[in-house]
Structure 1
Amino acid sequence: MRTVALPPRSMYYGTPVALISTINADGSENLAAMSSSWSLRDRIVIGMGSASQTAENIVRDREFTFNLASAALWRQVEILSSLTGKPEVPAHKAPQIRHDADKWAASGFTRRVSSQVRPACVDECPLQMEAVVEHIRAVADEPEGFALIEARVVALWAHEDVVAPDASGVDGEQWRPLIFSFRSYRDAGTELGRMARAVRGAPQPATQAAAPSRPAQPRAETENR
């Protein structure tokens, strides 16, 4: 296949959309949409513009909720993405972004009281995480720098209809995350296959005893590949 060189910018190659809830300095609640994140075990890492109200709140309070949107919420997410909690909109955002003091009401999302942190969870999101910050790294860039924020999830909530029948976790057949891919909203789509290796620490199904064989060679963990 012939390849073509492209400028390495706006590399939104397909990640879930999350709504970040934080507390403003005046005690009001801010809500923002984002898609720059990844997770490993009980940690999540997010990237936010340093000049954003969300980043300012997280740096000050070191806590937030991380709410994963379903595909059905994309229109509300798009409304939210055009709003900022900053009274003064940065010049490079002004043509497409406007200030709204109550982004929750403007986008139609509902607060649900959290158990471990002050910011509320987003009731409409099927997966809701309460998180406390462990590390923040500032990255300089133009026209705006950004913050890489590592946080530990201290509480995880899920809508009943996306929980696996045995309550062991999320049912991938029912969970339909909203994906942001190259500036378009997409459904995660149909399952193509299942990972053969079991999740570390999860209960293993009983199997019949097998004849002794030579020990298997250890395999590298997925996160080390």
Structure 2
Amino acid sequence: MHRIIEPSILYFGTPVILISTRNENGTYNVAPMSSVFWLGWHCMLGLAASSKTTQNMIQTGECVLNLVSVNEVAAVNRLALTTGSYPVPESKQCRGYRFESDKFGVAGLTSMPSDTVAAPRVRECPVQLEAIVEAVHSMAEKDSAERGRFIGIEVRILRIHADEEILMGGEQHRIDPDKWRPLMMSFQRLYGLGSPAYESVLATVPESVYGNPAEKGHPI
């Protein structure tokens, strides 16, 4: 029987990504987040308005979305309670966050140049999506308690880098879901994907019918 509940968060299960951005002094920031979804080569990100990542993205108009596999979970945990914002925003102080100027160093990650944006890629991540900001959306405008706390940022993917080990055999542009093991977050806990639960009817539709990104103005 169902019950009416009021959980504090609604993280029912989303992938973890590391967003890398460029700070105003030319150094780099990297931060984990999981409020994300994709539609074609566009992506929506839900971020705290006070986040250094949010501020960097609005200022520079770009970022790299580094998709995390289960192999990078230790780095995610090392970053989990750090922030590039100084002083630490009050909303993060109460949750135990601390300021770190060298986020890559703290995480044990390696920055590497991108092709189309100034923000760096994370070498250790199997998938790296170079992106530019398309639009910034205010959120919770009608909720006096939440207004101003969160921002929705729409980005457009310019270039995708994928480790050859997760590509489908005989395919140049397809990720093999049996090889790709994204790190997932569900109610603050981290999980990896297991074997497919069932055969997917949707998977009978060839990926190619969704369109060639190059025909939509995306460089490959």
TM > 0.5:
yes
8 A Cα contact 1:135 1:151, kept in partner: yes
Q: Which structure shows the bigger proportion of residues in helix conformation? A: 2
Give unpaired runs (5+ residues) of structure 1: 204-225
Partner of 2:58: 59
Give the superposition deviation at 1:26: 1.0
Instruction: Quote the residue 1:127 is aligned against.
Output: 127
* Shift of residue 58, structure 1, vs aligned partner: 0.6
- Secondary structure class of the residue paired with 2:58: helix
Q: 1:202 to 1:89 in 2, by over 3 A?
A: closer
- Contact 1:64/1:117 (8 A) holds in 2: yes
Q: C-alpha displacement at 1:92, in angstroms?
A: 2.6
Matches of 1:98 and 1:30 in 2, distance apart?
14
Deviates more, 1:187-196 or 1:17-26: 187-196
Q: 1:187 aligns with which of 173, 183, 192?
A: 192
After TM superposition, give the deviation of residue 91 of structure 1 in Å. Answer: 2.0
Q: Secondary structure at the match of 1:13?
A: coil
Residue 177 of structure 2 is matched in structure 1 by: 172
User: How far did 1:198 drift?
Assistant: 2.1
Distance (whole Å) between structure 1 residues aligned to residue 2 and residue 134 of structure 2? 40
CA distance in 1, matches of 2:118, 2:43: 18
Counterpart of 2:90? Answer: 91
Q: What amino acid maps onto 1:201 in structure 2?
A: V
> Alignment partner of 1:46: what SS?
strand
Which has the larger Rg? 1
Moved more, 186-195 or 146-155: 186-195
Q: Which residue number in structure 1 is paired with residue 101 of structure 2?
A: 101
Conserved in 2, the CA contact under 8 Å of 1:13 and 1:181? yes
1:198 partnered with 2:206: yes
Instruction: State how far apart, in whole Å, the 2-side matches of 1:46 and 1:59 are.
Output: 12
Report the Cα offset of residue 93 of structure 1: 1.4
CA-CA distance at 1:163 after TM superposition = 0.9
Q: How many residues align?
A: 202
SS of the aligned residue for 1:169 comes to coil
Distance 1:190 1:100, change over 3 A: same
Q: CA deviation at 1:76?
A: 1.2
* One-letter code aligned to 1:3: H
Cα offset, 1:199, TM superposition: 2.2
TM-score, structure 2 length as denominator?
A: 0.87
- 1:27-46: CA deviation from partner (whole Å, max 9, x where unpaired): 11110100000001110110
> What is the aligned-residue RMSD (CA, Å)?
1.7
Identity of aligned residues (%): 32
Q: After the TM superposition, which parts of structure 1 deviate over 4 Å for at least 4 consecutive aligned residues?
A: none
Are the counterparts in 2 of residues 92 and 143 from structure 1 also a CA contact under 8 Å? no
- One-letter code of the match for 1:55? T
Matched to 1:68, the amino acid is: L
Bigger mean CA offset, 56-65 vs 194-203: 194-203
> Does the CA-based 8 Å contact 1:23-1:119 persist in structure 2?
yes
Residue number in structure 1 paired with 2:152:
148
Q: Would the aligned equivalents of 2:139 and 2:147 in 1 still touch at CA under 8 Å?
A: no
Aligned partners of 1:178 and 1:92: how far apart in 2? 26
Residue 5 of structure 1: how far off its partner (Å): 1.5
Which one of 162, 165, 175 corresponds to residue 161 of structure 1?
165
Moved more, 13-22 or 159-168: 159-168
- Say whether the 8 Å CA contact 2:131–2:159 is kept in structure 1: yes
